[in-house]
Amino acid sequence: MDLNDIPLHRDSGTPLHEQLATALRAAMEEGRLPTGSRLPASRDLARSLGVNRGTVQKAYAALVAAGEARAAVGQGTFVAGTGGLAVGILPPPQTAEDPDWERLARWSDRPGVISLAGGMPDARLFPVAPFRESLDAVLAEEGTGLLQYGPSRGHGRFLEVLASRLRERGLDRQAEQLLVVSGSQQGLDLVARVFISPGDAVVVEDPTYSGALALFRMMGARLLPVPVDDHGMVVEHLESLLTRERPRLVYTIPNFHNPTGVTMAPSRRKRLLEICAAAGVPVVEDDSDGELAFDEAPPEPLAAGAGKGGVIYLGTSSKLLFPGLRLGWVAADSQVIRTLEAVKRVADLHTPPLLQAAMANFMMTKACRELVTAVRASYGNRRDALLESLGEEMPAGVSWSKPRGGLSLMVDLPAHISTTDLLSRAVGEGVVFAPGNLFAARRGADHRLRLTYGGVREDEIREGMVRLGRAVRAELNGADQRRFTGKAISPPPLV
C-alpha cells in the first residue's frame, strides 16, 4: 500500500506517533498491510510524511509492544497480524538465539574443552545391541507392515505401552487420548499451530526451555513471563495476568524444569490448575525430564491432578532413552488429540512405525530397565559432583539451584556480571556453559547461566568447575575494577 499519504494533523491534540500507529493499524485491519509484509524503513517513511524519524520509530514500537508488528533485528519491522483473513508472505522466523547455540556448539567441539552447555544425554550409556535385537524382533514379527505408511495417531502396540507407562505415573489415559509425535518438540509445535495466531499471548515461565521460546516467538506470540523460584512457577502472578491478557496457553515444565532443574511445589500445582480452569486457559505441561528422577520416584505429572483432559501433556523418550529416535507423545482430551492428529497428518503424516514398534518392544525388556537404572544413577552422581564442586570452586555471592532430577541447573552471579562476557573468559579457560539470556522470556537475565551435567563425566565436571571458578573470579575482579575506575576492562576476545 502507499503509506505516503497517511493524513497526520499537527494541531489535533493527538501526538503524531499515535495518529500514525492508528493509521497503520487501520491499514492492517483492512488488509492493505497484510500479515508478514514489511513496514517501510523508519527513515524513508519519516521523510515522505515530513515528520521526525523518532515519530515513526515510536509508532512502530507501539505496534510491536501490542503484538501487532514484529521487529526482526537487522531486517526491519513486519506486520504480525491480529487474526482475521489477512494473507501474505509469512514473517521471517525469529531465530535470534540460533547463532548463539551454533557458537556454543563450535566452542564445545574444540579439543580439550569441557562443555556443560548442551542438554544432551550421554550416548556412551546407550545399549546398541539390545536395541538392535528389538528392531530385529519387530521386523521378524510384523514384516513389511512396519515399512509401509502407518496411522497418524501412532503404532497400536506403542500406544498401549505408553498408556500403561503413563498409568504407572498416575496419568490414566486411553489410547484415544494419546498421540505419538516426533519428539516432544513436535508435540509443542502442533499445539502452537492449533492454539496460537500472531499477536496471541502465551504465558511462559521465566526462564524456560529455549526451544519453546523460539517456537512461540516464531509463531508471533506475545510472551507473558512468570518468574520461577525454588518451588517452580510463581503462580501468584498468574491470576491477574490471565484476567488482564486472556492468553491462549500457559506453558509450564513442572518436573525438573529446564533450565533451573526445580520441581513445582504441590500447593502451586493445585493453584495453577484451579486458576487456569477458572479462566478457561489450557495448560501445556512439558514433562520431558520428568522421568529423570535421582532422589525418589519420578514426580506425578501435573496432568494427573487435573482430571481427564484438563492439561495438554507432552512426554518424550529423548532424555531417559534415545533422542535420535525422535519419539514423543501427547496426552490430552480426545477432541484436542483429534485436532492435533489432523495437524500432524498435514505436517509429516506420521512418526516411523518401525521405530515406534522397536521402542515398544525395547521398553518391555530387561535391558531397558537396566538402562533406566543406570541412567538415573549416573546422572544423579554427576549432579552430586557438580553441586559439590560448585561449592568448592565458586566465590561468595554466587548461588545455584539444586535439582532432584533432570539434566541442568542454573547459577546466579552478582547482578552486575554479564555471563555473555564471562563466556569469553570461560572459553579461554576451556569450559563452556549456556548464558542465561538464551532461556529468558524477557531480556535482563544476563547474570545467570545454565550448566548441564548429563553428557559429562564426574572428573570432567570437577575440572570444568575449577576452570569456571577461575573465570568467574577474574570476571568479578574485572567488574569491580570497572565499577571503581570507570574503565572498561574487556575479557579476552574470542575467535
Choices 42-50, 179-187, 294-302, 482-490; region in contact with ligand PLP by CB under 6 A: 179-187
Angle subtended at Cα 12 by Cα 7 and Cα 17, rounded to the nearest 5 degrees: 60
State in angstroms the smallest separation of the CB of 128 from ligand PLP: 19
Span 200-219, contacts to ligand PLP by CB under 6 A: 209, 211
Q: Residue 386 corresponds to which cell in the numbers above?
A: 557438580
Burial of 87 (0-12, 13-18, 19+ CB in 10 A): exposed
Stretch binding ligand PLP (CB under 6 A), from 4-12, 72-80, 183-191, 386-394: 183-191
Contact range with ligand PLP by CB under 6 A, out of 35-43, 131-139, 181-189, 387-395: 181-189
19, 288, 424, 437: residue in contact with ligand PLP (rule CB under 6 A)? 288
Residue 247: strand pairing partners = none
> Which region among 71-79, 182-190, 337-345, 424-432 touches ligand PLP (by CB under 6 A)?
182-190
> Cβ-count burial of 409 within 10 angstroms (0-12 exposed, 13-18 middle, 19+ buried)?
buried
Q: Which helix (H) or strand (E) holds 131?
A: helix 128-142
From 153, 224, 214, 145, select the one nearest 185 (Cα to Cα). 214
Count interface residues toward ligand PLP (CB under 6 A).
14
Q: Is 494 exposed, middle or buried (0-12, 13-18, 19+ CB in 10 A)?
A: exposed
Question: What minimum distance in Å lies between the beta carbon of 328 and ligand PLP?
Answer: 4
d(CA 23, CA 6): 7
Of 212, 425, 186, the C-alpha closest to 325 is 186
Of 19 and 184, nearer to ligand PLP (C-beta) is 184
Question: For ligand PLP, what does the binding mask look like between residues 314 and 353, x meaning CB under 6 A?
Answer: --x-x----x----x-------------------------
* Dist CA 53 CA 56 (whole Å): 5
By the rule CB under 6 A, 253 interacts with ligand PLP:
yes
Q: Which of residues 375-414 bind ligand PLP (CB under 6 A)?
A: none
Site string for ligand PLP, 113-142 (x = CB under 6 A): ------x-----------------------
- Judged by beta carbon, residue 226 or residue 394, the one nearer ligand PLP is 226
Residues in the chain: 495
DSSP reduced 3-state for 312: strand
Q: Which three cell numbers stand for residue 361?
A: 518392544
Give the residues lining the site for ligand PLP (CB under 6 A).
119, 183-185, 209, 211, 253, 258, 286, 288, 316, 318, 323, 328
